[in-house]
Amino acid sequence: MMDRNADAPWSQFDPEVYVDLNYRTPLEVDLLIVRLMRDHFSSCFARGVPDSMRGVDVGAGANLYPGLAMLPWCEKIVLLEYAQPNVEYLERQTAPEGYDEAWDAFWNELSEAPAYADVKPRDRISEIVRVERANLLDLDGQRRWDIGTMFFVADSMSECPDEFRRGVRCFMDVLNEKAPFAAAFMKESAGYRVGEHWYPAYRVNEDQVRESLEPFTSELEIHDLHHVVRPGHEGIILALGRRNSEVVAP
């Protein structure tokens, strides 16, 4: 039987174990992703930043670097996350006391670009970021954001192709026209373990990622990164682009 998103043990997700596995010691591929995302956003706003920019990280999980990447551009950022343990982790990371030192290495990469250099990330993140519990598949496009990220979500929550496509559509539907975005996917993932629990994944390749995103984009570049960070996948796919003005039917 195919594991759907609702079947996974999200209430048992252990964010500290996840951070230990993936981010406590920065992986080369994550630092590369951060640089590519930083340069993409910097390029999109090279001629200036619109007023009152609002950002969203959809399915933020126990990963702070997409939110950090949006800091210079936004007056408000929302981190949307479904798993309650991850919500509580993110609330701790965005509290006035400041986030864990684990995230400093990622900010160091970001701060190499001029727009990031003068930002004090711990102060800024506690000022403008809030965490909200939400399910990606329940987003209806009623609220819109001006910049967005989705990292290892649509492909890492279900084995079902329809839920993958719906997840991508729900993400793109909350972005305003011309909104820059970054989205990352585990290539050909067979699922993943966090602590004692197994979580489902939908196997995607570069062509499937491109096909799922192209109807929604005016600009799209896809990086097929051949870094393997754990057993059971073949690399990481990073998509960078901008939202078009099309309304795409379900």
* pLDDT computed for residue 143 by the predictor: 81
Q: What is the pLDDT of residues 140-183, one digit of tens each?
A: 877 899 999 999 877 777 666 778 888 899 999 999 999 999 99
* pLDDT computed for residue 146 by the predictor: 97
* pLDDT computed for residue 229 by the predictor: 57
Question: Positive or negative CA dihedral for 219, 27, 117, 171?
Answer: positive
Asked whether the beta carbons of 77 and 71 are under 8 A apart, the reply is yes
Asked whether the beta carbons of 188 and 194 are under 8 A apart, the reply is no
Q: Which amino acid is at 115?
A: A
What is the number of other CB atoms lying within 10 angstroms of the CB of residue 182?
24
Q: What is the mean pLDDT of residues 35-63?
A: 94
Beta bridge partners of 80: 58, 132
Residue 26, φ and ψ in degrees, nearest 5: -60, 130
* Whether the predicted pLDDT of 200 surpasses 70: no
Domain ranges for the chain: 5-243
Residues 6 or more apart whose Cβ sits within 8 Å of residue 184: 33, 150, 151, 152, 236, 237, 238, 239
pLDDT band at 205 (very low <50, low <70, confident <90, very high): confident
pLDDT band at 6 (very low <50, low <70, confident <90, very high): low
CB burial of 99-118 (b: ≥16 within 10 Å; e: otherwise) equals beebbebbbebbbebebbee
pLDDT band at 1 (very low <50, low <70, confident <90, very high): very low
**pTM score, two decimals?**
0.91
Q: What is the mean pLDDT of residues 90-100?
A: 95
Q: What is the pLDDT of residues 234-247, one digit of tens each?
A: 578 999 999 998 77
CATH number for region 5-243: 3.40.50.150
HSE (CB half, 13 Å, CA atoms) of 119? 24
Asked whether the beta carbons of 171 and 148 are under 8 A apart, the reply is yes
* pLDDT computed for residue 23 by the predictor: 86
Q: What is the mean pLDDT of residues 28-34?
A: 94
The C-alpha atoms of residue 67 and residue 78 are separated, in whole angstroms, by 8
CB burial of 193-225 (b: ≥16 within 10 Å; e: otherwise) equals ebeeeebbbbbbeeebbeebbeebbeebebeeb
Under DSSP, the state recorded for 33 is H
